[in-house]
Amino acid sequence: MRILIAGFNLESVTFLPKPTTLDEFERVAKRGEDLLSSFEDTNTVPGGFIKACKDEGVELVPLVYSEVGAAASATDEAFDHFVDEISRGIRAELYNLDAVLLGLHGALVTKNGRTDLDLVSEIRRQIGNDLPLGVAFDLHGNLDPKFIDYAEVLSAYRESPHIDMGDTGERVGKIMIAKLRGEFDPKTVIQKVPITLPSIFTATKVAPLCEVMAEARRQEELYANILDCSVVMGFAYADVPQIGISLIVTSKNDHDTSNKVIAHMSKLIWDLRESLYPKDSVFNVRNGLRKALEIKKNEQKPAVILEHADRMNDSTYVLHELIKTSNERVAVPYFWDPQAAKTAHAAGVGSNILLEVGGKSSSKAGQPLLIEVEVIWTGKPKFQMGGLMGKGRPVDLGVTAIVKVKNIFIWLISANISAINLDPFEQFGMDHLDFDLVLLRSKTHFRAVWEKESCGIVIIDTPDWGPALLNTLSYEHARKGVFPIT
């Protein structure tokens, strides 16, 4: 048995003005044996695919895998490039393959509005209908029910933070292998629930969402024919008709039970819609900083400030206020500004320079800050990701500089990566416990580590492209009737 693995993965913030280019996908793309060596034994979807195939004695055909993370809509050039590469790669092996496993996000959108569904349907068009496709999705995908017309096995992460990416890839792989061996005939149903939520309210260990996820697991235990019940929370910052929550239910060809589970889960989620959207739990900048200092008082661990609306890791709202008012020791890890990083790197360690930082991704990211900084570290760091989510994944920050203004340490990076674990400290010989405040720009993924490593978390809302108040965004393509936006 031979199975091909591939992936083209992006969480598209369609409101951002500058598209994600082919070059950005190529910078992180892994192909052939490099794909295997990069992802084997990692907590990632391709890592899970690899494990499932190796455990079951299946021969792997590694093609290409590119995952940018969260950024603006993809260029259609990038979309076409990877659709063609994946399709050509499958056709070249077509008569020697038993199945294909794809790692997709589910919230990819191009500048012309094409999505993951278009990607899968085009691949299917080019390779024909005989070869089974399995797809692993992110928990934040905006899924179209028509996916079941093109793929035989579909599932998604169950956790946010996504500490189960490897498990998801392995689950999709093992269901596919069981199908190929004739052990059962998996059939999937996808049902939309007309709710979309800000990413910060999709942490699966936080009530009431934890109760929804627990009920999904209970449904799997209750019915012997149910193989998987995935609650896909959707992505509120991709303005598409299929925005919002989806239920993926896969059974051993038992449509009646699948529909029963879908009806039960849909009603449960809809009835919880108001409590799933606790919009009053976030602070403005000044009140949030005040709250963080109150939490930190007399505590050994730092307080975390979450500037969640920043979708490109370069928003300046909180940093500006910290520079004006704070005397505390503050860490600002993984602040995306390739231009500032390059300037500081060229100046060298020990230099004192005037530097413009941040606010470059769009007009909503805040004003760029002109500050005098001391350069305390520069380099081009590469390492394997630590923590829980994505553990073992290769990381390349590009040209990087750590600069200091007052007692505020800023990690200027060239690759747009969110800080979700202790890597910014451990990889640079620092200790997070030496800081009073840590300013993060993740959404939920930081919680896997920072709920334990901080004395508390304060969520701050700013007028960037990922706000908690979704009615501040101008949706044009979202279908009618989706709570709370239409």
Per-residue pLDDT tens digits for 343-378? 999 999 999 999 999 999 999 999 999 999 999 999
Phi, psi (5° rounding) for residue 104?
Answer: -120, 165
Q: Return d(Cα 319, Cα 316) in angstroms, integer.
A: 5
pLDDT at 486 over 90: no
pLDDT at 171 over 90: yes
Q: What percent of the chain clears pLDDT 70, i.e. is strictly above it? A: 100
Phi, psi (5° rounding) for residue 339?
Answer: -65, -45
What is the average per-residue pLDDT within 169-186? 98
Q: List the beta bridge partners of residue 401.
A: 378, 412
With beta carbons less than 8 A apart as the criterion, state whether 259 and 189 touch.
yes
pLDDT digits (tens, 9 = 90+) for 190-249: 999 999 999 999 999 999 999 999 999 999 999 999 999 999 999 999 999 999 999 999
With beta carbons less than 8 A apart as the criterion, state whether 437 and 328 touch.
yes
DSSP assigned state of 380: -
pLDDT digits (tens, 9 = 90+) for 408-419: 999 999 999 999
User: If pLDDT is split at 50, 70 and 90, which confidence band does 189 have?
Assistant: very high
Sign of the CA dihedral running 442, 445, 449, 455: positive
Domain extents for the chain? 2-271, 283-467
Concatenating the DSSP letter of every residue in 427-461 gives TTT--GGG-SEEEE--SSTTHHHHHHHSSEEEEE-
Packing angle of the helix pair 285-296, 317-325 (nearest 10 deg): 60
What is the average per-residue pLDDT within 279-303? 96
Q: Return d(Cα 480, Cα 465) in angstroms, integer.
A: 21
pLDDT at 380 over 90: yes
Phi, psi (5° rounding) for residue 248?
Answer: -110, 115
What is the average per-residue pLDDT within 472-483? 95
Two tokens at 50? Answer: 């690899």
Q: What angle do CA 429, 435, 439 make, to 5 degrees?
A: 100
Q: In the block, which residue shows the tokens 């300037």? A: 343
Strands (E) across 255-367 are located at 303-307, 330-336, 352-357
Name the residue among 136, 128, 167 with its Cα closest to residue 153: 136
Name the residue among 305, 321, 335, 326 with its Cα closest to residue 401: 335
pLDDT digits (tens, 9 = 90+) for 6-52: 999 999 999 999 999 999 999 999 999 999 999 999 999 999 999 99
Concatenating the DSSP letter of every residue in 143-163 gives --GGGGGT-SEEEE---SS-T
Q: Return d(Cα 421, Cα 452) in angstroms, integer.
A: 11
